[in-house]
Amino acid sequence: MSVDTRHWIGGERVASATTFTDVSPVDQAELGEIARGGAAEVDAAVAAAQAAFPGWAATSREERAGVLRAIADGVEKRLEELANVETLDNGALLRSHRRGVMPRVAHNFRFFADWLEGLAHDDFDTRGHGNHVSWDPAGPCALITPWNAPLMLATWKVAPALAAGNTVVLKPAEWSPLTASLLADIAAEAGLPPGVLNVVQGYGAEAGAALVAHPGVRRISFTGSVPTARHIAQAAAANLTPLSLELGGKSPLLVFADADLDLAVDLAVEQYDNAGQVCLAATRLLVESPIAEEFARRFAERAAALVQGDPRDEATDIGPNIHPRQLDKIDGFVRRAVTGGARALVGGGPNTDLGGLYYRPTLLAGVEQDSEIVQEEVFGPVLTLQTFDGEDEGVRLANDTRFGLAATVATGDRERAERVTARLVAGTVWVNCFFVRDLRAPFGGSRESGVGREGGNWSFDFYCDVKNTVSAPRGWRENG
């Protein structure tokens, strides 16, 4: 497999004077030297996006949708290549990339192509005057994406932005840059005009900062950390650039005593997916007191059966974490929690048998609600276990962080589910399930978990300038 590690700007490959090294989390092998962009490359990419915007915005909905479907076809043709490259680049399971992630990448393009063709608002009347709502392309969009699901999360943004008639400058995470480069190749082969999609590689403090502060950008969409989002919001404010932010989470899994306990344990163990590097993960297990002991016992049995190892092996359940800095961060959280009185019921440290970047799936009990391990996002395979008595206490604990991205509820009582979900502060709530994500639904976070919603019409509302045209009933010249 060969991946071009230069930028993609205006339909051409562009090198930089300096590079940075991309290292695989699987075995710490060097994957390549990546072009290290900065203000100059960002200026060139935004200029290319501006130049391409009038032509792409003027294309018909049907033509845009056709190109998006061709990109989806290209993803499907190169699915095996994309899956292998991304597994090497970010360490997620190859079987997940093959069966779920890359097919979802293709679906992202097909979905927004279909939604674009059906995008409409009923005309309505105001005292005899007609109202017509339309969605006008906004202009060049800056899309900054994370490393935990690089291509899928990038295309959640790229697909609706292109469908809306905008041009794009994509800045992928420097820890997992490779599949964004392959996407540029696929889009070009699908007939996307030069300059409509641009990819600038580099560090957030250099390329990313220049991109979000650029006056030529008309939309900013970012997925990542709260501190970075604060910097982006400050930069966007100077140009009054609308932005959408999908940020961190510290989501709860509420398990009530009337829940199907096997199902609840399944849901809890599922939170170790992608080595815990999932913003939506329910990392705080809140279990009603009467079943807490049995829940912990069953959970420990299930967690012990998980296979940790090379993510390219079909038998592997948990792969490595992304980077030495991330591993150190995870371990620091756990060590401080244990020093503060927490007990490791499962795991509790790096997997010394494997070495490298593998951290054992961990469950900590004896944690205080106001402790760091309960309040701060770890972004690793680390869960906490707390107990509660009754709905009121469960909801109070669930809502008692500064985040509000998601929540999961396990209960056998439909009325309880309705009462509890109505009180939870979260952008998405799952009941007796997890990570069921439909692109027709709004997606985003509350509190410090984000700003705005994307998905379905919400995506077009963000990536477009929504216009209402009001026409008078008179004043028209008669023909003939």
Which residue intervals of the chain bear CATH 3.40.605.10? 7-247+445-469
The distance of Cα 328 from the centroid of its chain, to the nearest Å, equals 23
- Kindly report each contact of residues 296-300 with a partner whose C-beta sits within 8 Å and lies 24 or more positions away, as own/partner: 296/345, 296/363, 296/365, 296/385, 298/261, 298/262, 298/265, 299/265, 299/268, 299/269, 299/345, 299/346, 299/363, 299/385, 300/345, 300/346, 300/363
Pick the CATH number of 7-247+445-469 from 3.40.718.10, 3.40.50.2300, 3.30.2130.30, 3.40.605.10: 3.40.605.10
Residue 460: both structure tokens together: 């077009």
SS3 222: strand
In terms of residues, how long is the chain? 480
CA–CA separation, 108 vs 69, rounded Å?
A: 10
With bands split at pLDDT 50, 70 and 90, how would you rate the model's confidence at 480?
very low
Asked whether residue 113 carries a pLDDT value surpassing 60, the answer given is yes
Please check the confidence at residue 172 and state whether its pLDDT lies above 70. Answer: yes
Assess whether pLDDT exceeds 50 at residue 84. Answer: yes
Numbered ranges of CATH 3.40.309.10 in the chain: 252-431
Predicted local confidence at residue 100, as pLDDT: 94
What confidence category does residue 479 fall into, taking pLDDT thresholds of 50, 70 and 90? low
The stretch 153-177 carries a mean pLDDT of 97
DSSP 24-80: -TTT--EEEEEE---HHHHHHHHHHHHHHHHHHHHS-HHHHHHHHHHHHHHHHHTHH
The mean per-residue pLDDT over the stretch 76-83 comes to 97
Contacts of 211 (CB under 8 A, 6+ apart): 42, 45, 46, 142, 144, 169, 171, 200, 217
Catalytic residue among 41, 246, 377, 454: 246
The pLDDT of residue 475:
87
User: Where residue 1 falls among pLDDT bands split at 50, 70, 90?
Assistant: low
pLDDT tens string 183-224: 999 999 999 999 999 999 999 999 999 999 999 999 999 999
Say what the pLDDT of residue 478 is.
77
- To the question of domain 252-431 being in CATH 3.40.190.10, the answer is no
pLDDT tens per residue across span 414-444: 999 999 999 999 999 999 999 999 999 999 9
Q: Percentage of the chain surpassing pLDDT 70?
A: 99
Report how far residue 18's alpha carbon sits from residue 40's, in angstroms, rounded to the nearest whole number. Answer: 12
- Among the listed residues 41, 206, 279, 448, the single catalytic one is 279
Q: How far apart are CA 386 and CA 367, in angstroms?
A: 7
Predicted local confidence at residue 200, as pLDDT = 98
Look up residue 259 and give its DSSP letter: S
Q: Which residues contact 449 (CB under 8 A, 6 or more apart)?
A: 246, 247, 248, 249, 403, 404, 405, 427
* pLDDT class of 477 with cuts at 50, 70, 90: confident
Single-letter code of the amino acid located at 326:
Q
Average pLDDT over residues 87-94: 97
Angstrom CA distances, 134 to 160, 215, 267, 411, stand at 16, 25, 42, 43
**pLDDT on residue 142:** 98
pTM exceeding the 0.85 threshold for the entire prediction = yes
User: pLDDT digits over 286-296, tens only?
Assistant: 999 999 999 99
Average pLDDT along the chain: 96
Specify the pLDDT at position 26: 96
Look up 279 and say whether it is catalytic: yes
Catalytic residue check, 433: no
pLDDT in tens, 363-395: 999 999 999 999 999 999 999 999 999 999 999
- Output the CA angle 356-359-360, nearest 5 degrees: 130
Q: What is the mean pLDDT of the segment spanning 243-259? A: 96
Alpha-carbon distance of 348 to 338, in angstroms, equals: 9
pLDDT of amino acid 277: 96
pLDDT tens for 298-335 read 999 999 999 999 999 999 999 999 999 999 999 999 99
